[in-house]
Amino acid sequence: MAYMNLETSRKVMKRHQIDAIVATSAADFCYTSGYHLKGGFLPGASIIPADPALEPIIVVSQYEERMARNKSHFKDIRTYNSWVELVDIKNITDGKQTRVPKPSYFDDKILCGLLSEALKEKKLHGGTIGVRMDSMTHRVYSLLSEKNPKARFVDAGIILDEIQKVKTRDGIEALRMAASIGAKGIEGMIDESVIGATVSELQLRYRKSVIQQITKDNIMQFTFGRGNSVIVGDPFVSLESATHKVSPGDSVFIDCGVLINGHQSDMGRHFIAGKPSPLQTKIYRALLKGYEAGLLMMKPKVKLKEIYNVVHDTIRGNGLDWYTRGHVGHSVGMYPPGEQPPYISPNEETELEPNMVMCLETPLYVNGLGAFIIEDMILITPEGHEVLTLLPRDLVELK
């Protein structure tokens, strides 16, 4: 798998005067290495040098080595020992298996030691090293600093966000699959009568419908990942009680997503149980008009702040003159966090580019009434855009 464009990444790193990036968070590791950690309890890390003459390095536990070699496009894969007893059958049958001492638990010193050895080997230990400060523990940062006293560690969060902004083919396909599965979950949630159903029952319907999309071909790629928000009627009441039931006239809201190879889908819809009230209809029409105005602008070379302004101007011009959101969309990619910069926000100068995958959303939460949302995942193409979330945007009246 290749989720990172190595050539583009190196250009960005050189522009920021970074000699290498050390990625230690699960999301950044998956993005840079192309391998989604399977164990869940043993971390991995990668080193991406800016110099094209230096091979990238990934470090994983011995437990994950074979899988990492099978999935990652990088060749230099180094391993560390853990408490897991993993042996080769040939050594057993040949009588060559010996006792190997193991640590009682994972110790950051092991991983940091291997990373430091690799930095020294590549003559990067005295250079400027980028790390994502907000996801690196103080202990790991301290250990790396101690073992590499001549290195200058700087925050690479902005750099990692920038290189993740435009997706590779593998990244787009993972997001496309995640969007399709999430949409099927929403369809399944409302496929039968909802009046009288509880919030927990709707959650279970969604999850059951998602699981029904899992096959022998995608089971090893899939994870539920993030929580899914289901709100029935008054947000305050609904979010406090899983036993809250759908009554006639309630809005039924869902904001959800699943993970495929670490890539997070994100989408949302609201429905009405029975006939909508005049106020619900007014809100829906205003939010839809704003969404549609924004969608028309989702194409290359359009600045995100321009989309933000058009969405707000349209919603406000359709009866909600007080409507204000900090952003009306965002890039989407690795989880956590899933929701990534750049944001469709009032001061964002970023221009859309082909192969960016953005969410466009117009949510509104009204205490005492309900929650409303139209949110889709959108792939920017050279000619315009492709909506990945294949769901109707009509105001569906549920039974």
Of 221, 288, 269, nearest to 377 by C-alpha is: 269
Say which CATH number the domain at 290 has. Answer: 3.90.230.10
Domain match, 138 and 180 both: no
Q: What is the pLDDT along the chain (399 residues), one digit of tens a residue?
A: 799 999 999 999 999 999 999 999 999 999 999 999 886 678 999 999 999 999 999 999 999 999 999 989 999 999 999 899 999 999 999 999 999 998 898 899 999 999 999 999 999 999 999 999 999 999 999 999 999 999 999 999 999 999 999 999 999 999 999 999 999 999 999 999 999 999 999 999 999 999 999 998 889 889 887 778 999 999 988 878 889 999 999 999 999 999 999 999 999 999 999 999 999 999 999 999 999 999 999 999 999 999 999 999 999 999 999 999 999 999 999 988 878 999 999 999 999 999 999 999 999 999 999 999 999 999 999 999 999 999 999 999 999
**Alpha carbon distances (Å) from 95 to 48, 75, 85, 101, 369:** 40, 31, 17, 18, 71
Number of structural domains the chain divides into? 2
Of 175, 121, 166, nearest to 11 by C-alpha is: 166
Say which CATH number the domain at 110 has. Answer: 3.40.350.10
Q: What is the pLDDT of residue 343?
A: 98
203, 238 contact by CB (below 8 A): no
Q: What is the pLDDT of residue 122?
A: 96
Domain match, 55 and 192 both: no
Among 140, 164, 188, where does a domain finish?
164
**Alpha carbon distances (Å) from 98 to 90, 93, 95, 105, 145:** 12, 12, 8, 21, 36
φ, ψ (nearest 5 deg) of residue 271: -130, 170
Domain match, 234 and 316 both: yes
Centre a 10 Å sphere on the Cβ of residue 20 and count the other Cβ atoms it contains.
26
Q: What is the pLDDT of residue 99?
A: 94
Q: What is the pLDDT of residue 187?
A: 97
Q: Which domain holds residue 143?
A: 6-164
Of 212, 332, 326, 199, nearest to 267 by C-alpha is: 332
Report the DSSP pairing between strands 370-372 and 364-366. Answer: antiparallel
Report the first-to-last Cα separation within the chain, whole angstroms. Answer: 44
Domain match, 134 and 173 both: no
Among 164, 188, 214, where does a domain finish?
164
Q: Domain for residue 156, yes or no?
A: yes
Q: Domain for residue 1, yes or no?
A: no
Q: What is the pLDDT of residue 240?
A: 81
Q: What is the pLDDT of residue 241?
A: 84
Domain match, 87 and 178 both: no
Among 164, 187, 211, where does a domain finish?
164
Domain match, 350 and 210 both: yes
If you compute the radius of gyration of the chain from its CA atoms, what whole number of angstroms results?
Answer: 24
Domain match, 173 and 154 both: no
378, 388 contact by CB (below 8 A): yes
CA distance 274 to 163: 46
